[in-house]
């Protein structure tokens, strides 16, 4: 029987630990939290000093029972959930559920899951940290007080299913205010004048006109730019001053949680949620040639500190692999931000000698990509700076003064393994920054050898028009950086914040655009903008960025033991309760009324309001149900409403009342409806050309509908796919996938063409859900000539279309 019980929160972590701890330890997993606030009521005794009312989470009763049984057979209990606030809370709650003498409980902190780190941590346990637990408890109660009381208010005022959060709603405000700033932005015209010059030796280079007649040259019109060109045309160009200097670029610090999320988004196209999920797996342990081992240190950290042993190991590796010139004389040390938990390390590989190449056979594609990112950043942070030879030249031409600059890489340094990506709007040195001040160098390219007094030849003068640009929309990486810079939330919460905003449909990723590696911009939905405006109006303090950041600092003081958590809650709840009471009375009522506008109903002349439907906002007459007029609308560049008048397309006459039949769009596509509705409710399917949706006409299938006996047709989808539909629609809604003439390799059924909910064409078995075979590639009724697989598959990418064998291990393609 094991003498000791060690409890972690993750089964994967438990499996890794079992391999190192031996028979003296029984390792169990709590599978996350075992208790929480009740899901159906507030669960906080506000009058009783904000005491939380915890209860065992539904479905966790058997886990708690099993832990109690194991604890009863063990002399000592080691509590080893993650080394952060949430982990500390899990440890406290487990100890409370198990009961018994406090001295038998020991807190173990695993910052990495390697044999040496595990042995050391178990041999040196600590005590449960009450301040850290109080900090988590205060956050949990604060979030419950805000979310559980504002969300029902939104259900009553707007619609059910909405939510608000202490940090989530402030993050939403940032996205909404950025969109409003973009909408309100007025582009300003400005011009630049650039000279293309030649020296005694190539290459040609560019210089920008910076001063004219001793004054800054800042043309705001074509005429002003033309005046600049006229002033220097025909003039001799001469080099007045040349400055050659060496520029050093220092390596970036090792990753912390927020910077890992940002770079994984920029370089790998991963969402913060996916990044943290993959990092969790790398931390908890992966099977390698050395058995199960944790590959990175703990991934929820705001500290850039590195262990001395880790620095020594990576310096040895750099010197051996890259040479002494890449190894700085002394290690680099990086300053962490204020309030960082210095007990933690930065995110790094648990061994510098465990290279990505060595782990490639054991990791999935995204796991390997993220590990390589972490590994290379760790190497880079301890390598020598990159060195650039930079040349700055001042060039005179009559009354004008031009500037040129260029640089070349002299020594790669850390850039041999890693370069940091930039957010949109962060321009490299020497590029136009969009302010039109004319002082930036024209281009950071290569300059020819230049000497003071040297004559230059002007090949051409180039006046160019520009417009100032609005602030860019946030990408997920940029929003994480903004939250971090403003002190809103903590790194461990960023992934959840961004996921919630998108899950609640407050924010969406802009369609039809890509920024860098699939980084799409975040755009507030009409619902998100409405919710943000309502919350800012009713809860100005809670929605204030500085107030939220100040509250985070107060919670950090609770963690440090310098502030009482109950006092913090009392100070917060007084003003919040007053604002909540006022909002219940004064918040604008959207549900049942909508947002009033100055638009008049085209049918009855009454006012129209913006209402929320399943598919977004629309305009509806306030006289409903007497007047049922609705209109779609868009917004102009300034946010004003633009009504979309419906195009009335008639197609024949009603066979019941003789009124014209009108083409309408329904949930399942276009159909014909009588214009005398609601007096006549006749509807008919729309067939042949002119279907009103821009798609090709339906093709006869030559079969009858098994439900109603009408003809079946092959219809196109907006995604470019096809399906079989009944001409009796909308009365008969029979449809099925279009067979591709290939048998399912799993069950022998028929593979058919389908369209996913996201609008993408895929191919699956018609025996679904009994058979779940599916593929994105189009099956072709042609056996593989190499391995004999019954069919080939057609795959289309940006590089073109290829036909290949889908059989695992077969590399045939054409």
- CA–CA distance, 668 with 417 (Å, rounded to integer): 53
Look at residues 197, 192, 204, 194 and name the one whose alpha carbon lies nearest to residue 237: 197
- CA–CA distance, 361 with 463 (Å, rounded to integer): 56
Q: How far is CA 303 from CA 274, 349, 480, 491, 552, in A?
A: 21, 15, 17, 11, 17
Q: How far is CA 254 from CA 52, 264, 357, in A?
A: 38, 14, 20
Left (φ > 0), alpha (ψ -120 to 50) or beta: where does 170 sit?
alpha
Biggest CA-to-CA distance, the chain: 96
Six-digit token pair at 250? 């220092």
Active site residue 133: no
Counting DSSP H helices and E strands in the chain, the numbers are: 17, 38
377-404 burial code (b ≥16 CB/10 A, e <16): bbbbbbbbbbbbebbbbbbbbeebbbbb
DSSP state of 122: H
- Give the number of other Cβ atoms within 10 Å of residue 239's Cβ: 21
What is 355-404 written as a DSSP string?
-HHHHTTTS-HHHHHHHHHHHHHHHHHTSPPEEEEEEEEEEEETTEEEEE
SS3 633: strand
Burial of 640 (0-12, 13-18, 19+ CB in 10 A): exposed
* Residue of 190, 298, 371, 375 marked catalytic: 298
Look at residues 2, 5, 1 and name the one whose alpha carbon lies nearest to residue 71: 5
The answer to whether 173 and 167 have CB atoms below 8 angstroms apart is no
What's the 3-state SS for 257-325? HHHHHHHHHHHHCCCHHHHHHHHHHHHHCEEECCEEECCECCCCCCCCCCCHHHHHHHHHHHHHHHCHH
The answer to whether 477 and 444 have CB atoms below 8 angstroms apart is no
Q: How far is CA 213 from CA 227, 402, 404, 454, in A?
A: 12, 12, 19, 21
The answer to whether 712 and 736 have CB atoms below 8 angstroms apart is no
- CA–CA distance, 280 with 275 (Å, rounded to integer): 9
DSSP state of 534: H
What count of residues does the chain have? 814
Among all residues, which ones are annotated catalytic? 298
């Amino acid at each position: 029987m094991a003498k000791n019980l060690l409890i972690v929160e993750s089964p994967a972590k438990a499996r890794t630990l079992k391999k190192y701890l031996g028979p003296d330890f029984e390792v169990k997993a709590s599978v996350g939290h075992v208790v929480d606030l009740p899901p159906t009521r507030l669960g906080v005794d506000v009058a009783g000093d904000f005491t939380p009312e915890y209860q065992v989470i539904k479905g966790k009763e058997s886990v708690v029972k099993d832990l109690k049984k194991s604890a009863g057979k063990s002399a000592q209990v080691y509590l080893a959930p993650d080394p952060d606030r949430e982990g500390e809370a899990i440890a406290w709650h487990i100890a409370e559920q198990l009961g018994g003498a406090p001295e038998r409980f020991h807190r173990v902190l695993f910052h990495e899951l390697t044999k040496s780190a595990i042995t050391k941590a178990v041999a040196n346990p600590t005590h449960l940290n009450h301040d850290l637990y109080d900090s988590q408890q205060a956050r949990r109660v604060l979030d419950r007080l805000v979310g559980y009381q504002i969300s029902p208010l939104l259900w009553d005022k707007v619609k059910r299913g909405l939510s608000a959060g202490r940090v989530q709603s402030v993050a939403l405000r940032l996205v909404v205010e950025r969109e409003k700033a973009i909408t309100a932005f007025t582009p300003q015209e400005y011009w630049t004048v650039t000279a293309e010059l030649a020296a005694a030796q190539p290459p040609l280079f560019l210089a920008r006109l910076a001063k004219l007649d001793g004054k800054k040259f800042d043309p705001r019109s074509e005429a002003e730019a033309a005046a600049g060109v006229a002033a220097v045309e025909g003039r001799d160009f001469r080099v007045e001053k040349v400055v050659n200097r060496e520029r050093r670029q220092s390596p970036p610090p090792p990753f912390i949680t927020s910077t890992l999320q940002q770079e994984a988004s920029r370089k790998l196209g991963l969402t913060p949620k996916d990044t943290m999920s993959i990092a969790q797996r790398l931390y908890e342990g992966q099977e390698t040639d050395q058995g199960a081992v944790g590959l990175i240190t703990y991934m929820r950290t705001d500290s850039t500190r590195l262990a001395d042993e880790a620095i020594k190991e990576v310096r040895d590796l750099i010197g051996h692999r890259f040479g002494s010139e890449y190894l700085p004389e002394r290690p680099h040390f990086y300053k962490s931000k204020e309030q960082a938990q210095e007990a933690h390390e930065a995110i790094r590989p648990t061994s510098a000698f465990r290279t990505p190449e060595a782990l490639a056979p054991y990791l999935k594609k995204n796991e390997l990509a993220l590990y390589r990112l972490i590994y290379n950043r760790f190497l880079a942070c301890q390598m020598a700076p990159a060195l650039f030879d930079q040349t700055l030249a001042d060039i005179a031409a009559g009354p004008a003064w031009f500037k040129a600059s260029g640089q070349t890489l002299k020594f790669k340094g850390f850039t041999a393994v890693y370069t940091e990506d930039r957010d949109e709007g962060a321009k490299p040195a020497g590029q136009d920054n969009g302010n039109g001040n004319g002082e930036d160098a024209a281009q950071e390219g290569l300059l020819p050898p230049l000497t003071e007094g040297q004559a230059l030849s002007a090949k051409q003068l180039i006046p160019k028009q520009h417009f100032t640009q609005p602030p860019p929309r946030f990408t997920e990486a940029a929003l994480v950086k903004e939250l971090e810079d403003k002190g809103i939330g903590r790194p461990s919460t960023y992934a959840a914040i961004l996921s919630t905003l998108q899950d609640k449909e407050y924010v969406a990723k802009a369609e039809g655009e890509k920024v860098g590696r699939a980084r799409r911009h975040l755009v507030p939905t009409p619902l998100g903008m409405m919710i943000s405006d309502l919350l800012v109006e009713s809860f100005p303090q809670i929605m204030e960025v500085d107030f939220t950041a100040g509250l985070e600092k107060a919670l950090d003081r609770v963690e440090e033991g310098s502030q009482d958590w109950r006092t913090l809650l009392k100070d917060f709840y007084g003003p919040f309760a007053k604002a909540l009471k006022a909002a219940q009375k004064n918040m604008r009522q959207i549900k049942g009324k909508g947002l009033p506008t100055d638009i008049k109903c085209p049918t009855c002349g009454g006012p129209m309001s913006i209402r929320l439907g399943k598919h977004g906002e629309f305009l509806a007459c306030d006289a409903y149900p007497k007047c049922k007029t609705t209109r779609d609308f868009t917004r102009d560049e300034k946010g004003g409403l633009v009504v979309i008048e419906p195009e009335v397309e008639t197609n024949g006459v009603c066979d019941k009342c003789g009124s014209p039949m009108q083409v309408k769009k329904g949930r399942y596509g276009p159909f014909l409806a009588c214009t005398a509705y609601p007096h006549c409710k006749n509807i008919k399917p729309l067939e042949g050309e002119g279907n009103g949706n821009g798609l090709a006409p339906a093709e006869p299938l030559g079969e009858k509908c098994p439900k109603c006996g009408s003809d079946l047709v092959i219809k196109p989808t907006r995604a470019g796919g096809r399906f079989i539909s009944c001409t009796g629609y909308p009365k008969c809604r029979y449809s099925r996938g279009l067979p591709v003439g290939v048998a399912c390799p799993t069950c022998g059924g028929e593979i058919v063409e389908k369209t996913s909910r996201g609008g993408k064409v895929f191919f699956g078995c018609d025996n679904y859900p009994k058979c779940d075979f599916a593929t994105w590639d189009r099956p072709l009724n042609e056996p593989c000539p190499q391995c004999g697989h019954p069919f080939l598959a057609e795959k289309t990418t940006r590089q073109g279309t290829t036909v290949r064998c889908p059989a695992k291990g077969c590399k045939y393609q054409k």
